[in-house]
Structure 1
Amino acid sequence: MHSLSNKEVVPVKQIEKTGGLSKEIRLVNPQKQALVDLENN
């Protein structure tokens, strides 16, 4: 894991909870989304 991953995953998860920008995140930064998917699964 990169040292930044912990800081970056938190805000992504907050947006994921809203379900509004999740698709945009996947398109803009699939690596961040992959980290979220790993934690969710």
Structure 2
Amino acid sequence: MTRLIALLLLAGTAMLATGCNTIAGAGEDISKGGNAITNSADKAK
């Protein structure tokens, strides 16, 4: 479980670093990262 969380955080950081050109873009990227974490958590149940 710890490995999954670390992987998700790393992936989210990479998405933010590559996709944020504006504040609006940052909000969208954060939202996508949250959705990815939620989906992964649901699959892990």
TM-score of the two chains, using structure 2 as the length reference: 0.39
Name the structure with the higher helix share: 2
The structure whose Rg is larger is: 2
TM-score of the two chains, using structure 1 as the length reference: 0.41
